Amino acid sequence: MSPTVPGMPAVDDLDRHVIPPRRLAGRVPAEMDRRDQQDPFPGGETVKAPEGAPNILLVMLDDVGFGTSSAFGGPCRTPTIERLAADGAGYTRFHTTALCSPTRAATLTGRNHHSVGMGVIAEIATRAPGYTGMRPDSAATVARVLRGNGYATGAFGKMHQTPPWETTAAGPFDRWPTEEGFDTFYGFLGAEADHFAPVLYDGRKQVDPPRTPEEGYHLTEDLVDRAIQWTDELGSVAPDQPWFCYLPFGAVHAPLHVPEGYRDRYTGEFDEGWDALRERTLARQKELGVVPPDTEMGPWAPGLPHWDELDDDERRVAARLMELYAGFLEHTDDQVGRLIDHLEANGKLENTLVLYMVGDNGASTEGGRLGAFNYLAGLNGIPSTTEEVLAGWDELGGPGSYPHFPSAWALALNTPYQWAKQVASHYGGTRNGLVAHWPGRIAEPGRLRHQWHHCVDITPTILEAAGLPMPHTVDGVAQKPLEGVGMAYTFTDPDADERHTTQYFEIFGNRGIYDHGWTAVTVQRAPWLMATRGIESTPLAESTWELYDTRSDWSQSRDLAAERPDILERLKIKFIAEAARYNVLPLDDSTVGRQSGRANRPPHPMSGRSSITLYPHMDGLNEKAAPKLFNRGFLLSASLDVAPAESGAEPCEGVLLSMGGRFGGLVLYLLDGVPVFEYNFFGRAHGKAEGTSPLVPGARRVELEFDYDGGIAAGADLRLFVDGEQVGEGRIGVTAPAMFSMNETLDIGRSRGSEVSTAYKGAFPVRGATLHHVRVDLQRGEELPRATRERIELATH
């Protein structure tokens, strides 16, 4: 492979088209006597990267629209992005897929997201080939290719690539980070994290955060700490070995969890509202040259209010939530700056290619029309209220909140484009800032690049920089060709003709195609209605398509569908051809109900089992891999030995079973020896059944009968038993219809992440007793309490 950019590494004597690489044939004659051998024999050496290969730092922010960062005209101060762009190159026409997991899959493989089974997030995967959530072996990640070529590889942050049903101790582990090419992984596997109390993995093992929120813990800082430590260790033991550091933050995806020192940095800066912010941002973008001077503002998305339609309380809440988001982003960028400063101080930055993706999709509307104190309720189709946010005002941004801003802020943060995250048809969902920094390799530092590119181009660009080909075989498996286009040609020539000329888009039926400047697009559903039940979308055959000439209409503001039906029809046909080519078909515009029907569901580790026994030594189970406790009745049975009470000793206590966290969940625990069950319905309602006296020493069985009313999100009667005798009862009037969280777990013997109940703090492990196991019964049987058995007998006769 010929170097594309001055200073790129050259090829050597390895056949790097196969991973692991093969050393080219060569032979040294052997002497009769070992003592006479002068020439060394080939082979036995560790595979090394090409001489001069650079370090690669790939940074990815979460849920940041094009018009958000100050480097691209936005209101959020991001000095690190500005600094890297001033010394490198900013890209004004870079695109993502409009959703997190798909963007990550395309970025790390160089293939389109449907080509690698990631047409949606894995949590709602189906069996359709483009939507399985399971990367095929024929699409190796860039990390695997680099590792096979002598790079050290590490990932720190949000992966969101491992299917949830593969996150148990049974695996398989093929799609865990450490099996997808990363030597080191530290972070989380799901869609989001509580930044004060995340569920973390170090490799395959769940680990606790190194500090508590009270001790100043924040996930973003922890991730950068680990990345710095890793690069330092490599510099000590293998200073000549290049590394690939992937740093995908959970920030600034909701919840808007902000360190205290950043929560008030933007006080009053958003009081004029989102309409005014759009205008200010567009003016600034024109000044910076990130959009042409004649760029028009994209149309407002129908269904969201303008600022003057809100009342005073709604404006106050909206402004505060946006202040938190801005502080969150500035904090994240400052942490990237801390890493950059460290690399520079150690002399590593000079030979490091930094690719800083300013978002994995457009800004998010998932906070709902008015924003949310606990936006997890909104993901269950339960809208938040302004009163809730006002009631929790002092906790906003801290560990006691799980907030998100109102949907309309996303439109402002995606200025000047239409729509937002999830809407893959329009640039508001897919256009994101990108900065490349590589000292001495980027011509005319500080000049913007306006070539059209896509996240699928990141892997080819990294391989170009490393002087490596994409192998045709990896670990014995023939590889799909790369579907992206390398961007290194733009490093040397800011005005070069663009090479990525055609690209399809699709998320949740929102779809479109870019082709040589033209875009044909159609919106299937508003993203803030994702979890709203009963909303019928337009039949796909009746979708209304729009047409834009982005060579003269940068922001997709002037729909030419009526004027140029010939071009529109051609592009619609081309979309179908691309969709068939890349596994986009069959189109599916469903969200909440996507997995309805047994034939459409992905595998589940607990499938078909009515009784599951869980042990305290197990790692926590992701909700999607845990026994399904939603919209059904169940029985929890904890088997334990209570230690004899000693003089002055405290009674036994601790969590027996916990699922979810402080913003939604259920927990069976002992407090001062008394058994208690609580159901936390997103902080809005609580059900509780509590015993009256402490457990006596000896072998005990604590049971909780969850007698469900039937239907979706209905109530349940709660009955608590000790050794078969009822000791408490209660009622929860409404239950979670779909989920408690995106990243909390079901735990036995302790609580990972945040606490479901305010009655205890932290992990609250069992002490003063030995917990043997907890059995979860999902099917009625002889072991169920008598009251349940009698009801079943009546119902079946």
CA-to-CA dists, residue 251 to 62, 64, 215, 248, 644, angstroms: 6, 9, 20, 9, 48
| Per-residue pLDDT, 25 | 62
| Percentage of residues in the chain having pLDDT higher than 70 | 93
Question: Is residue 40 very low, low, confident or very high in pLDDT (cuts 50, 70, 90)?
Answer: confident
Peptide bond into 252 cis (omega under 30): yes
Question: Is residue 786 very low, low, confident or very high in pLDDT (cuts 50, 70, 90)?
Answer: very low
Q: Give the tokens for residue 459.
A: 């892997």
Q: 608 or 636, which is more confident? A: 636
Q: Are residues 773 and 748 in contact, defined by beta-carbon separation less than 8 angstroms? A: yes
Residues 6+ apart with CB under 8 A from 214: none
What number is the average pLDDT over the span 320-338?
98
What number is the average pLDDT over the span 95-110?
98
Q: Are residues 728 and 675 in contact, defined by beta-carbon separation less than 8 angstroms? A: yes
Question: How many residues are there in the chain?
Answer: 797
CA-to-CA dists, residue 724 to 70, 425, 654, 703, 783, angstroms: 63, 58, 21, 8, 10
| Matching residue, tokens 């049975």 | 637
| Per-residue pLDDT, 490 | 98
What number is the average pLDDT over the span 240-266?
98
What number is the average pLDDT over the span 562-570?
98
Q: Are residues 441 and 525 in contact, defined by beta-carbon separation less than 8 angstroms? A: no
DSSP string, 584-627: -PSP---STTTT-SGGGPPP-TTTT-SEEEE-TTSPPEETTTS-
| Per-residue pLDDT, 781 | 35
In 723-783 the beta strands, taken as DSSP E runs, fall at: 725-732, 745-748, 769-777
| Percentage of residues in the chain having pLDDT higher than 90 | 85
Order across the sheet with 477-478: list the strands. Answer: 18-19, 473-474, 477-478
| Per-residue pLDDT, 536 | 64
What number is the average pLDDT over the span 440-463?
98
Q: Are residues 192 and 253 in contact, defined by beta-carbon separation less than 8 angstroms? A: yes
CA distance 792 to 711: 17
Q: Give the tokens for residue 124.
A: 């709602």
Q: Is 141 buried (19+), middle (13-18) or exposed (0-12) by CB count in 10 A?
A: buried
Closest CA to 364 of 309, 304, 406: 406
| Per-residue pLDDT, 609 | 85
Q: 293 or 30, which is more confident? A: 293
What number is the average pLDDT over the span 250-272?
98
Would you say residue 218 has pLDDT above 70? yes
In 142-223 the beta strands, taken as DSSP E runs, fall at: 152-158, 184-188, 200-202, 205-207
| Per-residue pLDDT, 26 | 65
Would you say residue 469 has pLDDT above 80? yes
What number is the average pLDDT over the span 417-445?
98
| Per-residue pLDDT, 3 | 41
Q: Give the tokens for residue 484.
A: 């992206």
Q: Is 11 buried (19+), middle (13-18) or exposed (0-12) by CB count in 10 A?
A: middle
What's the angle, vertex CA 62, arms to CA 57 and CA 64, rounded to 5? 110
83 phi and psi angles, rounded to 5 deg: -65, -45
Would you say residue 239 has pLDDT above 60? yes
Give the bridge partners for 745, in sequence order.
622
What number is the average pLDDT over the span 11-33?
80
Would you say residue 429 has pLDDT above 70? yes
| Per-residue pLDDT, 468 | 97
| Per-residue pLDDT, 599 | 60
| Per-residue pLDDT, 667 | 98
Q: Which domains does the chain have, with CATH numbers?
A: 55-573 (3.40.720.10), 611-796 (2.60.120.200)
| DSSP conformation class of 42 | S
Order across the sheet with 502-507: list the strands. Answer: 502-507, 510-515, 518-522, 546-549
**Run of H or E residues at 340:** helix 312-345
CA-to-CA dists, residue 118 to 109, 128, 131, 509, angstroms: 11, 10, 5, 14
CA distance 506 to 515: 15
The average confidence (pLDDT) of the chain is 93
Would you say residue 487 has pLDDT above 70? yes
Closest CA to 587 of 515, 655, 510: 510
Would you say residue 791 has pLDDT above 50? no
* 612-645 pLDDT, tens digit each: 999 999 999 999 899 999 999 999 999 999 998 7
Q: 780 or 73, which is more confident? A: 73
Q: Which of 482-486, 530-534, 563-567, 674-678 has the lowest mean pLDDT?
A: 530-534
Closest CA to 739 of 631, 635, 637: 631
488 phi and psi angles, rounded to 5 deg: -60, -25
Q: Is the dihedral of CA 78, 80, 86, 91 positive or negative?
A: negative
CA distance 283 to 158: 34
| Per-residue pLDDT, 780 | 45
Give the bridge partners for 787, in sequence order.
none
What number is the average pLDDT over the span 451-476?
98
| Per-residue pLDDT, 782 | 35
What number is the average pLDDT over the span 9-18?
74
Residues 6+ apart with CB under 8 A from 159: 104, 177, 185, 187, 188, 189, 248
Peptide bond into 765 cis (omega under 30): no
CA distance 323 to 741: 24
* 158-173 pLDDT, tens digit each: 999 999 999 999 999 9
Give the bridge partners for 675, in sequence order.
670
With b for 16 or more beta-carbon neighbours within 10 A and e for fewer, the 501-535 pattern comes to eebbbbbbbbbbbbbeebbbbbbbbbbbbbbeeee
Q: Give the tokens for residue 107.
A: 């970025």
